[in-house]
Chain A
Amino acid sequence: MTNRVPITRLGKFFGENDFSLEVSMGQEWLGGDMNFTCVLYKVDRIKTKTDDVYGETVEDGIKFLPPVEFNAYVGIAAPENKNVGSTKNAQLEPGNITISVYLKTLEDLNIDIDFGDYIGYYDSEDFVRYYTVVNDGRVISDIKHTYKGYKPFYRTIIASPVGPNEFKAL
């Protein structure tokens, strides 16, 4: 059991009730109006068999927990046209996805997002692109992630695209 200390910052103008109201209104906007939907494929770290030395899986060897849909604010960076290293093999590398998700959403769905988890995002009806979490945004002490300095209310998660060689949700 952890100690819980009430936050009394901005107490004369703002409080827990206001905070909860703002968050619920934001969730309503994000889920009801925007409805950006992502799918979390959380790696099952028990069932996934890994190499003893490198901790790598074989192809299609990643096992995941039942996928969970969640609403988040999504931004996808522009693709980058470049060669693979210094080879002359050109490719259009898809950009990272940046997901901003309410802490309340994660709490309601009883999920957490860690480094290495996979996130699917439907570009169109028949095409989903998968990303692996490269920054799980767990540190949210900065002012940006707080509601006007009152307390944190969302996480920013950055994920990089992966190819079917690594993950294809099968």
Chain B
Amino acid sequence: MALPKKIKKYLPLTESKTLLPRRREIRDMIEEDGTFLPKSLLHADLDRGFLDFVRDQLTCVVEGKTIPMIDILITTQNWAQFTETWDFQNIDKNTEPPFITVIRNPEVKYGNNPAIVYNIPNRRLYTYAQVPTWDGNRNGYDIYKIPQPVPIDLSYSVAIICNRMREVNKFNQIIMEKFASLQAYQTIKGHYIPIKNTGMSDESVMDLEKRKYYIQKYEFTLCGFLIDEDQFEVSPAITRAFQIFETDTKYKKGKKKKVIPPEPAIIEFTIPVGQTSFEELFNYTLNLNFTSTENVESYQVYLNGDYYGQDLDKLEITTNDTVLIEVAKLDDSKIGKVLYTQELI
């Protein structure tokens, strides 16, 4: 019967950290990969990552005992084998079944990981991060550039050597379950690397007059890539300068500027050809001071229809007054003008 959702299936054996210990924990977590650049990833790192994958994720326990694994890739130096197998060797110094060993095929081919295989040719550098900097005086940015990673495929064989079918079955079950979704993943130096199971073979020794044991080999392809930190480039970018100017604090009285009064605006009464008067409504209060006339012999002024005077030097006008000017032109075939300067009140 399924458990109710609110019931915990497992109780944590250690309490979660809080306050200062938690902050220290977070700091340690950040500092673990505490760089703005990705970690370098080369062949040896990928090999170590695959060995860790086999050791940690393909752990095979039969009858309460973990089947030991040779935790190195055996190379041309035979003595290295002993360093990893001494605790499960027999009196002949031979590795005693059951055990698991990993073989890496020496050839490394160009990878077929579609995520990174089709891309721009040549190994130019690409901006990876913009990192703020502070040297004590200036804020700025550094540009971190890395080349495009090179995809590679590494082929491994994981072999189990054992005497009992139960051990063969258990190891097979672990691998089948782990790779039920075609591929499994291993985090190698912060990179997420897929591993595919590409097949298996049997090399069991079943000769009648020889020691019999099972050897089953599982083939894996690790779809990795190469990143070499020696090819990374860090270059400075924008820098913001904080500038301070020192000035003389002594007060000096400057010369008072001469105020130049603005030119008064000129209002122009234009009397068209064939007419002798001009009327205008004023919406504001002002005084008009006579300036000049053009083609006008004399003129008479009417304010709100009432006669106001002739050839006046000054007119005092209030809001909504209507001014009518009648002129006697010198030449009736030309326009006449009466010019005043206006002074708003």
Which of A's residues lie within 8 Å of B, judged by CB?
51, 53-54, 56, 58-59, 84-94, 96, 127, 134-135, 158, 160-166
Task: Identify the closest chain A residue to B205 (Cβ).
Answer: A85
A90 touches B81 (CB 8 A): yes
Task: Identify the closest chain A residue to B167 (Cβ).
Answer: A56
Task: Identify the closest chain B residue to A79 (Cβ).
Answer: B92
B121, chain A: closest CB distance, angstroms: 37
Which of B's residues lie within 8 Å of A, judged by CB?
63, 65, 70, 74-75, 78, 81, 85, 90-98, 101, 103, 157, 159, 161, 163-166, 203, 205, 208-212, 215, 217
Return chain B residues, CB-CB under 8 Å to A54: 164-166
Task: Identify the closest chain A residue to B90 (Cβ).
Answer: A163
A87 with B215: in contact, given A54-B164, A134-B209 (CB under 8 Å)? yes
A88 touches B94 (CB 8 A): no
B54, chain A: closest CB distance, angstroms: 13
A51 to B62, CA, bound (A): 14
A86 touches B211 (CB 8 A): no
Return chain A residues, CB-CB under 8 Å to B90: 163-164
B163 touches A86 (CB 8 A): no
B215 touches A93 (CB 8 A): no
Task: Identify the closest chain B residue to A59 (Cβ).
Answer: B63
Return chain B residues, CB-CB under 8 Å to A87: 74, 101, 103, 157, 159, 161, 215, 217
Return chain B residues, CB-CB under 8 Å to A134: 208-210
Return chain B residues, CB-CB under 8 Å to A51: 166
A160 touches B164 (CB 8 A): no
A84 touches B95 (CB 8 A): yes
B7, chain A: closest CB distance, angstroms: 37
Return chain A residues, CB-CB under 8 Å to B205: 85
